[in-house]
């Protein structure tokens, strides 16, 4: 089938010389400069023709792999009534992230941030028996979230495209099978997209549910931090890392705690210096990890209720905002400010200690400890009086808390929760999330079916997302060099970029002929047929746009050759004119040939991706 070429003389495209002022990441800069997307408002973008082609390719891969596991495509509206979201509590829970609007009669609507409610209600509407299940349905659709910080172009948009699918099963074994099938399909999708990724354990956040994994594109500038073990196959988003608690220790015979003057020691570093000067230990110097740092924040619940929360962590560790955020979701964290301190006079800023913290203690403030602070551990901590600390305070003996919390930072070298060897940290972009949602939505929306015995049972669900528009940016983030984009074969906007250089009529005649011959073979050609543009500008544009194969028709014609350049490696070769069509077709179909113009991309295997997905 013939595929009409994209002619640059008429293509709706303007490449830009300068980086857009708001772009920090290479993917964002390059997608704008190369004419793939245009910003309309923060986190809202127009897809220009080349960008739309890449987006459609990502969609095609996702669709093919979902169809291959028997998931069925449907499409929900983006504009939704409030009622289903009220039934699940999310009209409130989602807070300011929802775009809300009213119709002319004053009824409340929203632009869907996610569609659990719609999937669940539609299945409830149409199905009623175990015989109807299992079922997997999906859509590729536009979502709206009024993100606090839209970022990096398509990576965190306020309007973005997601593939979301849901599985429906009668029992846990069915859910596990549906989850495993989706997981395998995701591995195929991300292999085909052609970038490096890892599969990590994840938290299931506001959705509830249990088993959960994320597919992260490995990326230096990614928003997510994950850890992987240097020895076993453990890999997890830092949000999901559960710090192995050391065993509790006996405290019989430990000396009594004593309060000491420690004037002007509001920070841990100053405190440690002061301890070593004024109260030297006989065995070793004091260090930050001997201190218990108590941090206080304000938790703002959906609907606006504000609740202070105190967290005790070893003094050598900071609180990780994302880890803390994941623990309190859907609530949000705000700083505990001066006015709040005035409201809680029991707190001595800079010298807070477990003495007043805890729901049953003087302040009444909820107090949670890092899992390392087990019974029998001994600490230096605030004495709740400005300028004083208490030395030798023993957990379990001298203080208790209201529970533990995973909020302290995770560092390179920390112990693997699975095998105890050192962990290492790295960054990534969340591309997909699969999890076993369980019965949460089915319960609140009463999705039940009759089982084999004629008894009503609540359906169990799995939820599976892919960031489709985010994938375009994530691939760009992983596949570029200093000159521009370098698309993987499966999602490139065109198979080959034919560049006609110079002024000679025969060059354009030959390039026209080549383009037509390639089009007739089903190759999608981006053809630079512009007459008054210099070769230098054309080459620069070709590098910027990033089609993986560039064919240069120009000077070589004098000696009967045309040049093929590999965009990724820069490798060039001259091919005799009479062999050029076959050579280009072979190039774009890959070494294994076959009928498809678009060959399967070899997995860009990293040890991380293999380690996590095998
Ligand atoms: P994040 O933690 O990045 O905010 P999320 O956990 O809220 O994402 P999900 O609700 O699990 O996201 O959505 C499924 C997928 O949709 C994500 O894995 C991600 O790839 C994509 N996605 C989520 N939010 C955005 C956004 N604002 N812009 C683009 N893609 C997004
Ligand atoms: Mg997620």
Q: Give the per-residue SS3 of 137-203.
A: EEEEEEEECCCCCCECCCCECCEEEEEEEEEEECCHHHHHHHHHHHHHHHHHHHHHHCCCEEEEECC
Pocket probe for ligand 1: among 322, 433, 473, the residue whose CB has the most ligand atoms within 8 Å is 433
Please identify, by atom number, the ligand 1 atom nearest to the C-alpha of residue 207: 10
Helices (H) and strands (E) in the chain, counts: 15, 31
* Predicted confidence (pLDDT) at residue 260 exceeds the cutoff of 80: yes
- pLDDT given for residue 123 in this prediction: 96
Per DSSP, the three-state class of 102 is: strand
* Nearest residue (CA) to ligand 1, atom 29: 156
CB 121 within 8 A of CB 442: no
CB 548 within 8 A of CB 610: no
In the reported structure, the alpha carbon of residue 465 is separated from the centroid of ligand 2 by a whole-number distance in angstroms of: 8
- pLDDT given for residue 210 in this prediction: 64
Which is more confidently placed, 307 or 21? 307
Long-range own/partner contacts, residues 10-16 (CB < 8 A, 24 or more apart): 11/49, 11/50, 11/526, 12/48, 12/49, 13/48, 13/49, 13/50, 15/541, 15/544, 15/545
Residue 91 and residue 100: Cα distance in Å, rounded? 9
* Predicted confidence (pLDDT) at residue 604 exceeds the cutoff of 80: no
* Predicted confidence (pLDDT) at residue 595 exceeds the cutoff of 60: no
* Nearest residue (CA) to ligand 1, atom 7: 205
CB 317 within 8 A of CB 369: no
Q: How confident is the model at residue 589 (pLDDT cuts 50, 70, 90)?
A: confident
Strand 6-7 relative to strand 525-528: parallel, antiparallel, unpaired? parallel
In the reported structure, the alpha carbon of residue 155 is separated from the centroid of ligand 1 by a whole-number distance in angstroms of: 9
* Nearest residue (CA) to ligand 1, atom 23: 467
* Predicted confidence (pLDDT) at residue 124 exceeds the cutoff of 80: yes
Please identify, by atom number, the ligand 1 atom nearest to the C-alpha of residue 463: 11
Q: What mean pLDDT is predicted for residues 271-287?
A: 94
Q: What mean pLDDT is predicted for residues 81-93?
A: 91
Residue 171 and residue 120: Cα distance in Å, rounded? 16
Of residues 392, 390, 401, 395, the one with CA closest to residue 374: 395
Neighbours of 418 (CB within 10 A): 16
- pLDDT given for residue 52 in this prediction: 97
- pLDDT given for residue 471 in this prediction: 96
Question: Tens of pLDDT along 516-539?
Answer: 999 999 999 999 999 999 999 999
Q: How confident is the model at residue 549 (pLDDT cuts 50, 70, 90)?
A: very high
Ligand closest to 464 (CA) is 1
Per DSSP, the three-state class of 458 is: strand
Ligand closest to 202 (CA) is 2
In the reported structure, the alpha carbon of residue 203 is separated from the centroid of ligand 2 by a whole-number distance in angstroms of: 8
Sign of the four-CA dihedral 238, 240, 241, 242: positive
Q: Across the strands, what pairs with 295?
A: 311
In the reported structure, the alpha carbon of residue 48 is separated from the centroid of ligand 1 by a whole-number distance in angstroms of: 23
Q: Percentage of the chain surpassing pLDDT 90?
A: 82
- Say whether the peptide bond before residue 330 is cis (omega within 30 degrees of 0): yes
* Nearest residue (CA) to ligand 1, atom 14: 465
**Length of the chain, please?**
614
In the reported structure, the alpha carbon of residue 57 is separated from the centroid of ligand 1 by a whole-number distance in angstroms of: 20
* Predicted confidence (pLDDT) at residue 430 exceeds the cutoff of 60: yes
Residue 78 and residue 85: Cα distance in Å, rounded? 13
Residue 119 and residue 485: Cα distance in Å, rounded? 37
- pLDDT given for residue 451 in this prediction: 94
In the reported structure, the alpha carbon of residue 433 is separated from the centroid of ligand 2 by a whole-number distance in angstroms of: 5
- pLDDT given for residue 557 in this prediction: 93
- pLDDT given for residue 248 in this prediction: 92
Pocket probe for ligand 1: among 37, 186, 467, 476, the residue whose CB has the most ligand atoms within 8 Å is 467
In the reported structure, the alpha carbon of residue 113 is separated from the centroid of ligand 1 by a whole-number distance in angstroms of: 10
Q: How confident is the model at residue 502 (pLDDT cuts 50, 70, 90)?
A: confident
* Nearest residue (CA) to ligand 1, atom 16: 467
Question: Tens of pLDDT along 186-232?
Answer: 999 999 998 899 999 998 654 444 689 999 999 988 989 999 999 99
* Predicted confidence (pLDDT) at residue 613 exceeds the cutoff of 50: no
Q: How confident is the model at residue 95 (pLDDT cuts 50, 70, 90)?
A: confident
Pocket probe for ligand 1: among 470, 471, 473, 476, the residue whose CB has the most ligand atoms within 8 Å is 470
Q: What mean pLDDT is predicted for residues 243-247?
A: 91
CB 212 within 8 A of CB 203: yes
Please identify, by atom number, the ligand 1 atom nearest to the C-alpha of residue 114: 10
Ligand closest to 146 (CA) is 1
- pLDDT given for residue 372 in this prediction: 95
Residue 312 and residue 393: Cα distance in Å, rounded? 13
Q: What mean pLDDT is predicted for residues 291-306?
A: 92
Q: CA torsion 230→235→237→243, rounded to 10°? A: -70
Residue 66 and residue 59: Cα distance in Å, rounded? 10
In the reported structure, the alpha carbon of residue 486 is separated from the centroid of ligand 2 by a whole-number distance in angstroms of: 28
Per the prediction, the chain carries an average pLDDT of 91
Ligand closest to 465 (CA) is 1
- pLDDT given for residue 598 in this prediction: 41
- pLDDT given for residue 204 in this prediction: 63
* Predicted confidence (pLDDT) at residue 434 exceeds the cutoff of 80: yes
Of residues 138, 128, 134, the one with CA closest to residue 177: 134
- pLDDT given for residue 433 in this prediction: 95
Q: Across the strands, what pairs with 394?
A: 378
Q: Percentage of the chain surpassing pLDDT 70?
A: 95
Residue 508 has φ and ψ, to the nearest 5°, of -70, -35
Ligand 1 pocket (Cβ < 6 Å) reads: 114, 145, 147, 156-157, 160, 162, 430-433, 465, 467, 469-470
* Nearest residue (CA) to ligand 1, atom 24: 156
CB 302 within 8 A of CB 330: yes
* Predicted confidence (pLDDT) at residue 602 exceeds the cutoff of 50: no
Which residues fall within 8 angstroms of residue 341, CB to CB, at 6 or more apart?
347, 349
In the reported structure, the alpha carbon of residue 530 is separated from the centroid of ligand 1 by a whole-number distance in angstroms of: 40
In the reported structure, the alpha carbon of residue 467 is separated from the centroid of ligand 1 by a whole-number distance in angstroms of: 6
Residue 32 and residue 153: Cα distance in Å, rounded? 9
* Nearest residue (CA) to ligand 1, atom 19: 467
Ligand closest to 466 (CA) is 1
CB 332 within 8 A of CB 302: no
Q: What mean pLDDT is predicted for residues 538-553?
A: 97
In the reported structure, the alpha carbon of residue 303 is separated from the centroid of ligand 1 by a whole-number distance in angstroms of: 23
Which residues fall within 8 angstroms of residue 106, CB to CB, at 6 or more apart?
none
């Amino acid at each position: 089938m013939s595929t009409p070429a994209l002619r640059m003389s008429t293509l709706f495209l303007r490449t830009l010389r300068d980086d857009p002022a708001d772009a920090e990441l290479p993917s964002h800069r390059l997608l704008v400069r190369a004419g793939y997307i245009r910003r309309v408002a923060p986190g809202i973008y127009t897809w220009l023709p080349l960008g739309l082609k890449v987006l459609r390719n990502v969609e095609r891969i996702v669709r093919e792999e979902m169809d291959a596991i028997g998931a069925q495509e449907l499409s929900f509206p983006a504009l939704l009534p409030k009622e289903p979201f009220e039934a699940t509590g999310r009209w409130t829970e989602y807070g300011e992230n929802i775009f809300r609007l009213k119709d002319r009669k004053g009824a409340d609507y929203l632009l869907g941030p996610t569609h659990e409610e719609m999937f669940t209600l539609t299945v409830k509407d149409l199905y009623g028996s175990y015989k109807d299940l299992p079922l997997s349905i999906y859509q590729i659709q536009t979502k709206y979230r009024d993100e606090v910080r839209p970022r990096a172009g398509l990576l965190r948009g306020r309007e973005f495209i997601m593939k979301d699918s849901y599985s429906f099963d009668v029992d846990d074994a069915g859910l596990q099978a549906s989850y495993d099938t989706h997981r395998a399909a995701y591995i195929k999708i991300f292999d085909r997209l052609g970038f490096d990724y890892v599969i990590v354990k994840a938290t299931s956040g506001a959705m509830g549910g249990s088993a959960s994994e994320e597919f992260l594109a490995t990326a230096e500038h990614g928003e997510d931090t994950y850890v992987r073990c240097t020895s076993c196959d453990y890999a997890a988003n830092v949000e999901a890392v559960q710090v192995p608690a050391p065993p509790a220790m006996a405290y019989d015979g430990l000396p009594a705690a004593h309060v000491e003057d420690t004037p002007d020691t509001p920070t841990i570093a100053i405190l440690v210096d002061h301890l070593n000067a004024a109260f030297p230990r006989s065995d070793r110097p004091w260090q930050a990890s001997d201190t218990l740092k108590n941090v206080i924040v304000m938790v703002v619940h959906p609907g606006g209720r504000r609740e202070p929360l105190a967290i005790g962590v070893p003094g050598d560790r900071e609180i990780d905002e994302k880890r803390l955020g994941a623990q309190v979701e859907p609530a949000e964290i705000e700083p505990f400010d001066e006015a709040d301190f005035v409201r809680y006079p029991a707190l001595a800023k800079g010298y807070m200690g477990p003495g007043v913290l805890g729901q049953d203690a003087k302040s009444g403030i909820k107090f949670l400890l890092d899992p390392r602070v087990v019974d029998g551990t001994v600490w230096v901590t605030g004495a709740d009086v400005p300028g004083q600390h208490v030395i030798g305070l023993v957990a379990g003996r001298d203080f208790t808390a209201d529970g533990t919390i995973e909020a302290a930072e995770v560092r390179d070298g920390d112990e693997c929760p699975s095998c105890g060897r050192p962990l290492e940290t790295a960054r990534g972009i969340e591309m997909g999330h699969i999890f076993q949602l369980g019965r949460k939505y089915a319960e609140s929306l009463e999705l039940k079916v009759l089982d084999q015995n004629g008894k009503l049972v609540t359906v169990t669900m799995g939820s599976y997302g892919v960031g489709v528009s985010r994938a375009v940016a994530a691939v760009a983030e992983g596949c570029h060099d200093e000159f521009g984009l370098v698309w993987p074969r499966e999602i490139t906007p065109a198979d080959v970029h034919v560049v006609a250089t110079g002024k000679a009529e025969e060059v354009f005649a030959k390039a026209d002929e080549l383009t037509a011959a390639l089009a007739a073979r089903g190759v999608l050609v981006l053809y630079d047929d512009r007459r008054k543009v210099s070769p230098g500008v054309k080459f620069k544009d070709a590098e910027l746009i990033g089609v993986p194969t560039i064919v240069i028709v120009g000077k070589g014609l004098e000696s009967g050759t045309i040049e093929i350049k590999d965009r990724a490696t820069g490798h060039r070769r001259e091919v005799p004119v009479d062999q050029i069509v076959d050579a280009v077709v072979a190039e774009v179909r890959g070494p294994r040939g076959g009928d498809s113009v678009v060959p399967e991309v070899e997995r860009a295997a990293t040890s991380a991706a293999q380690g996590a997905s095998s």
